[in-house]
Amino acid sequence: MKFTLSWLKDHLDTDASVETIAATLNRIGIEVEGVTDAGAALAPFRIARVVSAERHPQADKLQVLMVDAGPDYNGGQPVQVVCGAPNAEAYMYGVFAPPGTYVPGSGITIRESAIRGVESFGMMCSTRELGLGDEHDGIISLPDHSPLPVQGTPYADYAGLNDPVFDVSITPNRPDCMGVRGIARDLAAAGLGTLVEYTISFHPDAYWPWYNVREKAGDPIPHIKLDAAPPKVRIEDAEGCPRFYAQRLTGCTNRESPEWLQRRLRAIGQKPISALVDVTNYFTVDVGRPLHVYDEAKLSGSLVARKAKPGENVLALNGKTYTLDETMTVIADDVAVHDIGGIMGGEHSGVSETTTDVVIECAYFAPDTIARTGQKLNLTSDARQRFERGVDPCIMYDGLYMATRLMHDICGGTASGIIEAEARDIALPQPVAYDPSLAETLGGLALPDKQQHEILDSLGFWLIDDAGEQFWLHDGTPDAPWIVGVPSWRPDIDGPADIVEEVIRIAGIDNVPSTPLPRAPGVAKPTATPEQKLERRLRRTAAARGLNEAVTWSFIAEQEAAAVGGGAWSLANPISEDLKVMRPSLLPGLLMAAGRNLKRGATSVRLFELGRRYLADGERLTLTALLTGDRTPRGWASGKAQPFTAYDAKAEALALLEAAGAPAGNLQVMGEAGDAWHPGQSATLRLGPKTVLASFGMLHPALLKAFDLDGPAAAVEIFLDAIPAKRGGANERGGGFMRPAYTPPALQAVTRDFAFLVPDALAAGDLVRAIRGADKAAITDARLFDLFTGAGVEEGHKSLAIEVTLQPGDKSFTDAELKAIADKIVAAASKLGATLRG
């Protein structure tokens, strides 16, 4: 939400600086996302008078102007400016940018230059060039009647643009701060000034100083003339719209809003439309009270708040047509729907420059109904943001009265009385039993009762005595618990913890002392779980292998989930459609991250993420790695750059599985990696035929295309929950497990080489695994070191050379023992169709 400093000061009597206000807002829980000052950006621009305007000698569409930019510029002498604006003429007043000025609307810096052979020493500016609007057909022409603009005056001062704009982020539980009045109330409670007490009154020039709720006003209310007949309204959907107020204004002239009103709307990013519309937009931000105005000439019969009929359509003010259903609340007449209740009005009944009679609507819409309707239609608006959080139901009458009064002051006309259609009571916040000692026991800050009461009173809360009357501490100290009355604009207050939050945030969270938790003497015991230790070990291993850790969203879009088989869980109320499905795989997040890096010039991307994927039967801890781009860069020795292959993915999978404690030497390579993987260039690593520990290989081209990735990509998915826990060999100690001390063997290991002829279809890993299992007591390792095909190897076969490591125990191997082990190796290999080469 945005508001200007002058707007805030309508509600808050303060001399605090912009910096102090921003710091205080952050301190009391209203996050300031930014403060901008258009006046500072436009500081170099000044008012200038065109002394003369002559046709450019070399261009019919250009003029050569002599411009007087004030007595303190160029020694008071006019400067020459070449200008192409069709409205440039002698004696006009405009806005001048001297050389060296940055022009925000066009992104250029003015320099002295020659244009078609004529030197130009500055620029006369349009509205768009100053970043203040879209008009660019001509330069700004200031009024030449009294009081005259003064040459040399900073344009920001002349136009009243020295008004900093605050951009604040309001949490969903603070609907009262969706209006400037609520923010001012919080700042006053924090000691930054005094909340303005006011009466409903207007200056003759329609300047809007501020107003008070009528019950608190000390002076009589200056009523407007109420001669028009009130409109006819009724409620048929009491659940979605329990109250509906309306008022007519007839014989008015819908003109441009006053400059002060247009300036404020433009400052917060809204485009002024017309006075009747601008007033409703103004009150939406000013007091957080959305309103809507209808052109009465376009209505047929009375207005009714009802449920939409299935299939009804409405063309909204944003130019889009929406199809409604029976769960949505609408405002309609006897013929058609004119308003998606509490969200957006319809274009058909919108006011225009010819509108003379209007009906002003001020209704209360149920927050849950508004939220569901907005979600179904994927439609948001300033009104929806406020109604679904909870608008103050007790400002309806006053809000409507104040808006009608301002419209009347600007547009004239005759107003009717306010018509009220009440279908049911609106639930108001209930009193809360509160013990002042909770400020210390729950909030950590001991505060005197009097200070707590002053804070609550400044925020609009009050104390209630046994007779149900308002109670003041100076009348005596009540017994705990206090009964605290809750104002109608605070629907978020539901219990004593909420009262503690109000007291502590205003008193200052920074004042809460830091108190360390008690700690038993001695050395702290380890608290990390085995799963946490595993995650740390894997992260270190992946980083040591050159992989960069990524942390991606746990929620992805439906189409992204569909690319990897679809998600089992979806949100009914997502923050965004791009964050709707709980991820069934970590691949989509990594693929999107890789794509962003490659598009920004990265040539090699090596990412990993350790997180959870969400399947129909629960969540699964998974480590996923992605390799794409260049594995090795081009060079004089290697030639062109080399891409990643499935073997790179396999190497990463085996290294990470070994770090995770999986029996890497016993794993089998099998197919069926899944639809996301490239057939023939991917596989799984399994313990037996059913226990899949990892998938690895190249990703399917269709998957890469779905994520707009060019070139191949290798990946690894390690399913950590499938890795079996280690059995035996560990001693429990101090709540954890310790491995037995490593004892190196006393005797030197022996290596023997074997060369086998095997069918081409036999995987080398299967042969290595069979050899390792030939004599588990003696064989400690076996590895492939050569593959040969060609002369001497029959067709359809290949030669695999295996190095076998044998570790003696108490004594060295004898020749007979070595021959016996060799025979076991040959026998194990023969079962796979392998024969020892001669």
Residues 6+ apart with CB under 8 A from 759: 796, 797, 798, 833
Q: Are 643 and 681 in contact (CB under 8 A)?
A: no
Question: Residue 368, Cα to own-chain centre: how many angstroms?
Answer: 22
Q: DSSP alpha helices (H): ranges in 295-351?
A: none
3-state secondary structure of 323: strand
Angle of the 275-286 helix axis to the 259-267 helix axis, nearest 10: 50
- DSSP code of residue 720: G
Backbone φ/ψ region at 191: left (φ over 0), alpha (ψ -120 to 50), beta: left
Among the listed residues 189, 274, 699, the one whose alpha carbon sits nearest the alpha carbon of residue 451 = 189
Assign 3-class secondary structure to 103-128: ECCCCEECCCEEECCEEECCEECCCC
Residue with tokens 């569909």: 562
Residue 168 host element (H or E): strand 165-169
Q: Are 376 and 409 in contact (CB under 8 A)?
A: no
Distance CA 807, CA 743 (A): 14
Assign 3-class secondary structure to 410-426: HHCCEEECCEEEECCCC
- Residue 771 CB neighbours (<10 A): 25
> Any binding-site annotation on 157?
no
Question: Residue 646, Cα to own-chain centre: how many angstroms?
Answer: 37
> Any binding-site annotation on 502?
yes
The two three-digit tokens of residue 710, written as one number = 């060019």
Among the listed residues 567, 549, 545, the one whose alpha carbon sits nearest the alpha carbon of residue 558 = 567
498-508 core/surface letters (b: 16 or more CB in 10 A; e: else): bbbbbbbbbbe
In one-letter notation, the amino acid at residue 550 is A
Longest CA–CA separation in the chain, Å: 122
DSSP bridge pairs for 244: 363, 421
CA atoms within 13 A on the CB side of 124: 34
Q: Where are the beta strands (DSSP E) in 372-504?
A: 414-415, 419-422, 432-434, 462-464, 470-471, 482-485
Residue with tokens 């799984």: 684
In one-letter notation, the amino acid at residue 551 is V
The two three-digit tokens of residue 635, written as one number = 């060079």
Q: Are 553 and 575 in contact (CB under 8 A)?
A: no
Q: Are 507 and 451 in contact (CB under 8 A)?
A: yes
3-state secondary structure of 129: coil
Q: Are 209 and 200 in contact (CB under 8 A)?
A: no
Distance CA 771, CA 778 (A): 11
The two three-digit tokens of residue 76, written as one number = 């008071």
Distance CA 285, CA 265 (A): 9
Sheet holding 337-340, edge to edge: 233-235, 303-307, 329-332, 337-340, 344-345
Distance CA 325, CA 303 (A): 19
Residues 6+ apart with CB under 8 A from 224: 404, 405, 408, 415
441-452 core/surface letters (b: 16 or more CB in 10 A; e: else): eebebebeeeeb
> Any binding-site annotation on 54?
no
Phi, psi dihedrals of residue 142, rounded to the nearest 5°: -85, 150
CA distances (Å), 201 to each of 73, 208, 210, in order? 44, 8, 8
| Terminal-to-terminal C-alpha distance of the chain | 84
The two three-digit tokens of residue 235, written as one number = 């409620």
Binding residues: 492, 498, 501-502
Binding residues for Mg(2+): 492, 498, 501-502
